[in-house]
Amino acid sequence: MKRGKRSRLAIMSIIFAMLSAPAAMADTSVTTQTSQPSLVALGDSITFGYNLGNNKAPSQKAFPYVIGSAKGYRVTDLGVPGWTSGNLLQALTTPRFMTAIRGAKVITVDIGSNDILQPAIKDGLLHASGQPPTLTSAEKLQFVDAIATFGQNLHAILTKIHTVNPQAQIILYNIYDPIPESYVKLRMISELLIGSENAIIATEGSEDHLAVADAYQAFNQQLSTYVLPGHVHPTVAGQQELAKLGLAILARPVAKPYYQTKAQFIYDFLAILGQAPDQSGHSPFKDVATHSYLWGYVHKALQLHLLSPVSSTFFGANSDVTASQAAQIAVNFLHVHLNNGESAFAFAKQQGFLNGLINHPYMTLRDEVLFVTRIENDMQTTSQRVPASWHMTQTEASVLREALKKSMASPYMQLKASMIMQTSGDLTTEGAQSSLAQGILQQMKNTLHMNIEENKGFNDGEPVLSSQVTMIPSPSDNMPVSALTEVQEYVANGNLYMNSGSGWKNIPGLYDLQSVLSNQLGGAALTIGALQDMTIIPISGGYQFEGSLNTQKMDAIIKGLFSSMPMLSQSSGMSSKSSEEFMTRVLNQMQTEVTFTVLATANGYQLNSEQMNVQLTVPFSSIPGVKTKLTGANAVILQDIKDLQLDEHITSNMTYDREIVAQPNGLPH
C-alpha cells in the first residue's frame, strides 16, 4: 500500500514539475531562409521532447524532428514545457512565431494537456489519497470554464494560423491519457477530462477540414512502451509513434471542403441582399431549367451584370466560386469604379469583406455569409438596410440580421422546440343540420403536442443533420390517449434516412446537405425581408425583437422550396405548381406573431430563442388529398364543412456547441 502511494505521488510530482518548467526552454534558433521545406511545431512539453535530453533545448528525438528527418523538412520546434493553449495563443502575436508560421509548409499543433492538468491539480481532481475527490460548486465551475476556454483558444489558434499561412498543411494532435489503468480512480477522472478536450479537438478538426492525429488511440494500450516510467511524457518509442501518425496524415490526399457552387452562391448572395428573382423569359442554358427558381436568380444576376456564363448555352451552375470571383461579383453589385491597376480582390480585402474567412481559393457557405453580410453593412443608404416597418435604428437592425443569418449558417446548432397545434372547423348552414358533418367536425377538433430535437454538425468530417420528432395527441372525451409517435431523421452524404419505429429506411430524392443548408440560408434571408412591424426591447445580455411576417413576401420562400426540393410536393401527392398554389392560399389567410431573443456573445450576437404564433383558416376542400380521398357518398362532406381553422404556437431554443453528431445504428448501406 505504501509503495502504491509513493508511485502515485511520483506521478503527481512529475506533473507539477512539467507545469512549472520555464518557458525559456523553447527553441531559440532563428529561422533562416532556405529552399528546404519547413515544418513548424507548436505545443507544450510533448512537442519539446521533455526528458529525452538535457531539457535546455528541444530534443532531436521529439516527433517534429522525426517527421522532418523522414520528409527532408527543416524543423523549427516551438514547443514550450508547461504551456497551455492560452500561452500559445498569446505567442502567436509575436514576430518570432509569425515569421516561422508564415514560411512553413507543415505546421503541427499539439496543445491542451496543461489546460486540464492545471485546474485538475488545483481543484484536487488528481491527488494521492485514492479517494474520490469532493469538489465545491466553484471548483466544478472552474473546471468547466477551463474546458470552454480551451475550445475558444484552439479555435482562435487555428484561425490565426490559417490567416497567416493559408497554404500550410496543419496536423492537429489530440491528447493521450498518460495515467495507467491500474490507477482506476485517477484514470476515470483523467478519461473524463481528456475526453472533453478530445471532443473539442475532433470538432475543430472537422470544421476546418483538418485531419486529427489520434494520439489517444495510439497510446491507449501501449503506455508501458510509449510513456516514460513514472512520468507523463513520451519515450523515444512514443515520440516515434507520434511522428508515425503525422507522416500517415501527410501521405493522405488533402480533403476538399464543401465549396459554394455558382448556383448556390448567386442564390444566397441575392437572397441575403433582398433581391427578388426574375423568372420571366426562357433560360438559354442547358444546366439551368426555364421557370425553375434557380433560373429566377440566374436571370437576376445577369440583369445586374454580376457575372458571366461559361458560354451562350452553359451557365456553369455546378462550378465552385473562387474568392476572386466573389470579389468581382461584389464590385459589380456595388457599382465600384476601380482605380487603374486595382483588382476586385484587392478592393474586397481593403474593404474587409474577406477578413477572417477560411483561407483557401474557394468560398464555403460560412465564407459567403460573412462576405455578403459585410457587403450589406457597407451599403451606404440606411433605407436599403432598415425596412420602414422596423421601428429601430440601423445598428439595432444589424443585430437581428446578424443573429438570424449566423444561426442558419453555423456549422453546428442544437435546436429544441415544442409545438402546440389546435385544430377546429366551421360548418356551412347545411352542414350544421348534418349529424355526419357534425361528427367529423368533432373529430377534427384536437390538440397536438409535438417536441422536436435537431442537431446539425459533423460526423467523420462530413456535415450531417439529425432530428427527432415526438408527437403527443391529446385525448378527446371518448377516446383513450394515443401512443406516442416518434419519427427520427438523419441526413448525411446526400442521403435522407428515416425511422418511424420499424427501422431505418433510405428516402430517395434528397439533394446533398450543402444544398439543404443553402436553401435554409436563402429561406432565412427571405424571411428577414418578410419581417414587418418589428420593435426592439433591451433585456439582460441582449435584445428581444417582436413583430410579424408579411405573408405575401413569404410566398417567395414557398416557391423556392417547392422548386428546389421537389420531394416536398411528391410527399403530398400534388404537383409542384399545385403545392405552390395551395401554400399561397394558406399564406394569404395566415396571421402571425414572432419574437426573437438575441444575446451578445464573444463571437457577436446570437439567436437564443424564437417564438411564433400562427392563426389561419383554410377552405376544407382545398386541403391536399381531401377531394381524392372523399368519394361517393362521403363527397357530400365537402359541401358541409366550410373550413379548417388552425392555431399554432411554436417555441424554439438554440445552442451552438461544437458537437460530433453520432450516426444512428442500423442505417441501410
Q: Would you state the pLDDT for residue 360?
A: 65
Residues 6+ apart with CB under 8 A from 553: 526, 529, 530
Residues 584-636: tens digit of each pLDDT: 777 777 788 899 999 988 777 889 999 888 887 877 766 655 555 555 555 56
Q: Would you state the pLDDT for residue 566?
A: 47
**Lookup result for grid cell 445552442:** 655
- For residue 137, the tally of other CB atoms under 10 A from its CB is 7
Handedness of CA 199, 201, 207, 211 (dihedral sign): negative
Residues 6+ apart with CB under 8 A from 319: 261, 262, 310
Domain ranges of the chain: 2-250, 262-380, 402-551+587-655
What value does the mean pLDDT take over residues 391-401?
82
Percent with pLDDT over 70 in the chain: 73
3-state secondary structure of 642: strand
Q: Would you state the pLDDT for residue 635?
A: 59
3-state secondary structure of 336: coil
The pLDDT confidence band at residue 30, using thresholds 50, 70 and 90, is very low
What value does the mean pLDDT take over residues 90-101?
93
Q: Would you state the pLDDT for residue 553?
A: 61
Q: Would you state the pLDDT for residue 96?
A: 93
Q: Which CATH number applies to 2-250: 3.40.605.10, 3.40.50.1110, 3.30.70.270, 1.10.580.10?
A: 3.40.50.1110
**Lookup result for grid cell 435546436:** 415
Q: Would you state the pLDDT for residue 597?
A: 93
Q: Which of 127, 128, 138, 88 is nearest to 108 (CA)?
A: 88
pLDDT of 658 above 50? yes
What value does the mean pLDDT take over residues 233-245?
95
Q: Would you state the pLDDT for residue 17?
A: 41
Q: Would you state the pLDDT for residue 478?
A: 43
Residues 342-360: tens digit of each pLDDT: 888 888 888 888 876 665 6
pLDDT of 558 above 70? no
Of the ranges 22-31, 39-48, 261-270, 447-456, which one carries the lowest mean pLDDT score?
22-31
Residues 639-651: tens digit of each pLDDT: 777 777 878 888 8
3-state secondary structure of 268: helix
| Span 402-551+587-655 CATH architecture | Clam (2.50)
Mean pLDDT rounded to a whole number for the chain: 77
Q: Would you state the pLDDT for residue 567?
A: 44
Residues 6+ apart with CB under 8 A from 663: 459, 464, 490, 492
Percent with pLDDT over 90 in the chain: 22
Cα(58)–Cα(64) distance, integer angstroms: 10
pLDDT of 14 above 50? no
pLDDT of 25 above 50? no
Of the ranges 294-298, 454-458, 559-563, which one carries the lowest mean pLDDT score?
559-563
**Lookup result for grid cell 437576376:** 300
pLDDT of 314 above 60? yes
pLDDT of 26 above 60? no
Q: Is 371 exposed, middle or buried (0-12, 13-18, 19+ CB in 10 A)?
A: buried
The pLDDT confidence band at residue 528, using thresholds 50, 70 and 90, is low
pLDDT of 653 above 80? yes
What value does the mean pLDDT take over residues 392-406?
81
Residues 135-183: tens digit of each pLDDT: 566 666 666 778 878 888 898 898 888 878 877 899 999 999 888 888 7
